[in-house]
Structures are given as C-alpha cells and as structure tokens.
C-alpha cells in the first residue's frame, strides 16, 4: 500500500458576511490617514513622521491663544488721554491767570519812547516796574517812577516816566540849572547836562501865591517830578505836582538792551 500523505491543517477564510474571530490589529497608519483628510495634510503628516505625534501639554502649562483683533481696545486709554488734555488746559489757564495777576498787581514791562530821561534811560530801552513798592513804603526822593498822564497833557499819552525831586510839603527852586529843595542844593549825579536856566513859570497845583516864579511848594499827597534830560523834558515844571495816587510803580530794572541790563 502506498504510504498516506500527512494531512496538513488548513485555515478557512471566513465566509463573506462573517466576522473573523481574531481581534483586529490597530492600524498604526490611521493618524496619517486622518491627517491627510485635513487642509495642510502633507505638512502635518511629514511632521508627524519625523517628530512623532505631539504630546498634549499638562493643564498648568497650557496657554490659550487669542486671535489678533484689530478692534481690540486698551481699557482706560481714552480716559487717560482726556485727562492729559484737561491737565494741559488747566496748566495753560493757570499760567495765564498768574501772568495777569502779576501784571495787574506786581510787575509790568514798559518801553521808553523818548529821550526825556537820558542818560539814565534812552529811547528804545525796556524796563520793569514794581507796582507793589509804594504799597509797602513811601515814595522816596530820587526814585524813577511811572505815573498816569496828567489831565492837562495830550490824550495820546497814557503813562509817563520821571524822577522824584521833591516830596509833599517841600519847596523846590531852580537857580542857574541847579535844584534846591527847602533851600538846600540837591546833588544829582545822574544828570549829564544842566540847562543853566533859573526859575520856571509857576505850574498848576503849587501852594505858592499866584504870580510867583522859580519856586513851587508841593501840596500834601503830591510829588514834584522832573526828567533827567532837563532841556528836553516836559515834567512838573509844566503840568505841576503829581498826585501820589497816580503813580503806577517804581522803575527798578532795565532789561533791554542786554548789554545795559541792570538796576536803576
């Protein structure tokens, strides 16, 4: 008898519609298949192939990204800008108020338009006047003062500047260009030229009898003023003593020209 062939075990394929009893092996390429189904699949798949699938970050390290928003507003920026504008407006208004108060009650700048005070002040000089001086003390002889235009002077003139020569109750005389106050010679080192004349017609406001000449007695509350350029000055010799209440202030500082900056 011929020998029998050994019977080899066979594996039958499952019939159509029947499930295999063997568990399905997970498809290790499934992540790539899903990746290829999304936009940019090629780059994602390549990145996964090289670096592996990214591990999720721990919760405490995860950062939520916020897409850029052109309309995103910074809280408080508008309010801060408005506050800044209001602060600047307040500073400017405050400075203007201070400047007005200073000009009204403390100091004022003046321009010299004539040579009547030469050589002390020349045409074109700029000076500062202290308006507070005579609120603190009396007018002194020799002070250079700015005062309001006397009523008998041209209306185009607002203020004048002259030097105080005689005080209330004093008598002033001019002899040969020299000034005497109550009989004593007044030393005037600020003069450059003496006109050499004697006397002057009695101006209005003096206490002397009508017709008197060459002298004037100053009434109470008034001062007698003269320019340093005696031959070219219209002063109390013409319009008479000036009320102290008409004095604006004392000129104490020349600020222009810069080369002549200094106290008066």
Between CA 16 and CA 263 the distance in angstroms is 123
Q: Which of 107, 102, 109 is nearest to 254 (CA)?
A: 109
Between CA 230 and CA 174 the distance in angstroms is 11
Return the sign of the alpha-carbon dihedral for residues 256, 257, 260, 261: positive
Q: Is 162 part of the annotated catalytic residue set?
A: yes
Between CA 166 and CA 142 the distance in angstroms is 9
Catalytic: which of 131, 133, 162, 233? 162
Q: Is 158 part of the annotated catalytic residue set?
A: no
Q: Using alpha carbons, list the distances in angstroms from residue 235 to 165, 204, 229, 238.
A: 11, 12, 11, 6
Catalytic: which of 116, 133, 233, 236? 116
Q: How far apart are the first and last CA of the chain?
A: 157
Residue 43: DSSP 8-state: H
Residues acting as catalytic residues: 116, 162
């Amino acid at each position: 008898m011929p020998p029998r062939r050994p019977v080899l075990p066979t594996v039958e394929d499952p019939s159509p519609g029947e499930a295999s009893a063997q568990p399905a092996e997970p498809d290790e390429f499934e992540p790539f298949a899903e990746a290829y189904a999304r936009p940019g699949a090629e780059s994602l798949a390549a990145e996964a192939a090289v670096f592996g699938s990214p591990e999720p970050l721990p919760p405490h390290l995860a950062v939520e990204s916020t897409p850029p928003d052109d309309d995103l507003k910074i809280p408080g920026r508008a309010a801060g800008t408005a506050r800044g504008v209001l602060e600047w407006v307040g500073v400017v208004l405050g400075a203007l108020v201070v400047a007005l108060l200073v000009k009204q009650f403390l100091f004022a700048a003046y321009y010299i338009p004539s040579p009547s005070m030469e050589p002390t002040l020349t045409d074109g000089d700029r000076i500062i006047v202290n308006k507070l001086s005579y609120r603190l003390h009396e007018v002194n002889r020799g002070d250079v003062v700015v005062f309001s235009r006397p009523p008998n002077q041209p209306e185009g003139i607002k203020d004048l500047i002259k030097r105080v020569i005689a005080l209330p109750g004093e008598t002033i005389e001019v002899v040969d260009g020299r000034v005497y106050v109550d009989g004593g010679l007044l030393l005037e080192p600020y003069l450059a030229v003496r006109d050499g004349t004697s006397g002057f017609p009695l101006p209005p406001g003096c206490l002397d009898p009508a017709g008197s000449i060459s002298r004037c007695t100053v009434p109470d509350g008034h001062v007698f003023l003269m320019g340093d350029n005696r031959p070219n000055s219209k002063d109390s010799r013409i319009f008479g003593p000036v009320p102290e209440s008409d004095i604006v202030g004392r000129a104490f500082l020349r600020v222009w020209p810069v080369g002549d900056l200094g106290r008066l």
